[in-house]
Amino acid sequence: MPNISKRGENAPASPIRKLVPFAEAAKKRGVTVYHLNIGQPDILTPEIGMKAVREADIKVLEYSHSAGFESYRRKLADFYSQYNIQLTPNDIIVTNGGSEALMFAMMTCMDNGDELIVPEPFYANYNGFAESLGVVIRPITAKIETGFALPPVSEFEKVITPKTRGILICHPGNPTGYLYSNEELLALGEIVKKHNLFLFSDEVYRDFVYDGCEHTSVLSLPGLDEHTIMIDSVSKRYSACGARIGVLVTKNKTVYNAAMKFAQARLSPSTLGQIMSEALCETPKSYFEEVKAEYDKRRMIVVNRLKAMDGVLTPTPNGAFYAMVQLPIDDSDRFCQWLLEDFEYNKQTVMLAPGTGFYATDGLGKQEVRMAYVLNEMDLHASMDCLEQALKVYPGRTVNAEMQHTINN
């Protein structure tokens, strides 16, 4: 049999999806599985988008422009203006999901062997994207003890080498829910200017920030137009993950023109997805207010329940709809599989994402899991009941009490 590529061999499995066979087996045994492992919202997609697809008068489903419909890009420019981001349609490339946008950004700005600094824990697929492109991730570890705050600038300076091409952040963060402060963003801006780097910012959760906080885009930072590339998507904003429409946004024309070559090579983004997404630009503000209020309620259900559990540590997330949680367990991969294979409480269990997949540094995340609080109130309480009971009987339970008071209080 022919050998597959080293790229294929080394590509990491998704920590979010790799346990699916065990979840399916549990369901076949009659066990209800509460999915906190994946950021799939249960919020209804706005009807205005669904209606646009149903009523589209299409005789031939054609390619679109490789950069996406101009009419959609114009609406996007108007949309971002409310966030103090001034754009033209020619600063925007519509992509097949935010994942393709980030891949285009990395392909445009980095060569094989180049290095990318990423604060960890980070979105697990960053590892996969980097591996597939021959990019080396240099992690900067954010600690749960500090609520996953950005490490000092000095930590970035230590890992910058002649091969360093950029810094990638997720803002607000997946998996931590951390929201970068203006001071932290400005500090990153100074680093990329000083070392002539790119600043990639994944901002797909910009609409979900809590406790009176506000989101600041890297595109609104002064003096960084040649350095910043923003990634966005309709997936979470409108609960439209299956539309697979994202955007790459930059004012750097050299970057834009090079990224367009990759956009042309893949021909075009989804026509039906763009029809839906363009219509979704007309979604009333009341939708976002209601959705954010719902996620805020879910956030506090999960945080309050977790902080009441013995040995469990969790900072309160300020954005997105995830919490990175430290549990009194020996190995998160083993624990998450055990929950599906060997545990049930009232014929129910919970599916979590092991923390190891969100780090590039070996050995980190073994006591952590990511939870997506995307279920309704009743199901969230049921899932927390399952977790609380599971931690009492898990054979590999350890003691985390040393830091619990500091974090949870």
Tens digits of per-residue pLDDT, 21-63?
999 999 999 999 999 999 999 999 999 999 999 999 999 999 9
Say if residue 46 is preceded by a cis peptide, omega within 30 of 0: no
* Nearest CA-CA partner of 67 in 218, 282, 263: 263
Report if residue 170 sits inside a domain.
yes
| Domain finish residue from 251, 280, 309 | 280
Sequence-distant (≥ 6) Cβ neighbours of residue 29 within 8 angstroms: none
State whether 66 and 28 are in the same domain. no
Q: Please, which pLDDT band fits residue 400 given cuts at 50, 70 and 90?
A: low
State whether 105 and 239 are in the same domain. yes
Domain count, the chain: 2
Sequence-distant (≥ 6) Cβ neighbours of residue 201 within 8 angstroms: 168, 169, 170, 171, 217, 218, 219, 228, 229, 230, 231
Report if residue 202 sits inside a domain.
yes
What's the chain's Rg over C-alpha atoms?
21
CB atoms within 10 A of CB 262: 18
Q: What is the pLDDT of residue 4?
A: 87
Helix (H, G, I), strand (E, B) or coil at 218: helix
- Residue 401 pLDDT > 60, yes or no? no
pLDDT (tens digit per residue) in 144-185: 999 999 999 889 999 999 999 999 999 999 999 999 999 999
Q: What is the pLDDT of residue 405?
A: 43
Distance (Å, whole) CA 236 – CA 321: 10
Whole-number average pLDDT of the chain: 95
State whether 259 and 159 are in the same domain. yes
Which domain CATH number covers 61? Answer: 3.40.640.10
* Nearest CA-CA partner of 160 in 183, 134, 138: 138
Q: Give the residue with greater pLDDT, 126 vs 10.
A: 126
* Nearest CA-CA partner of 224 in 187, 202, 203, 193: 193
Helix (H, G, I), strand (E, B) or coil at 353: strand
Q: What is the pLDDT of residue 73?
A: 98
State whether 20 and 113 are in the same domain. no
Could you tell me what percent of the chain has a pLDDT over 70?
Answer: 97
State whether 262 and 340 are in the same domain. no
Whole domain around residue 65: which residue ranges?
A: 47-280
Which domain CATH number covers 356? Answer: 3.90.1150.10
* Nearest CA-CA partner of 33 in 390, 305, 386: 386
| Backbone φ, ψ for residue 228 (5° rounding) | -100, 140
Report if residue 1 sits inside a domain.
no
